[in-house]
Amino acid sequence: MNNPISIAIGGDHAGFEYKSILIEFLKEYTVKDFGTYSTDSVDYPDFAHPVASAVENEEFDLGILICGSANGVAITANKHQGIRAAICWNGELAELARSHNNANVLCIPARFVSTELAKEITFKFLNSTFEGGRHANRVNKISC
């Protein structure tokens, strides 16, 4: 049985291995792989923009982006008005990104976390919800 949350996932060559592992980890969800599909060197915006657009256009509920540091994909995704992409390197940050910042794209730094930690981060991100309240006031001030 599929989980009702749909996820757009992508990454560059540095995130390819982790992306493949997370897709298997997320088999109970509806997941679309936006690439890359190998470890050949690529440009991260070519994958971050399509994932961010898919979430921004509400084709998918959430997004996951993976690159070496997570900085490139986060910067790229956050260029989209409706995106709140958060770099998370542990489960607590992932939980806070969702509950306090209503993050809708998780960015994982593959060169700085283990695959097991990446799974934990992803689990926490997907199983946390936005608290609203005082946090909603702050989130509503993000867009110009």
- Residues noted as catalytic: 67, 100
Q: Is 40 annotated as a binding residue?
A: no
The reply to whether 68 sits in an annotated binding site is yes
Distance CA 130, CA 141 (A): 16
Can you give the three-state secondary structure of 6-59, one letter per residue?
EEEEEECHHHHHHHHHHHHHCCCCEEEECCCCCCCCCCCHHHHHHHHHHHHCCC
98 is in an annotated binding site: no
102 assigned to a ligand binding site: no
Residue 70 annotated as lining a ligand binding site? yes
Annotated binding site for D-ribulose 5-phosphate: 12-13, 68-72, 101, 111, 134, 138
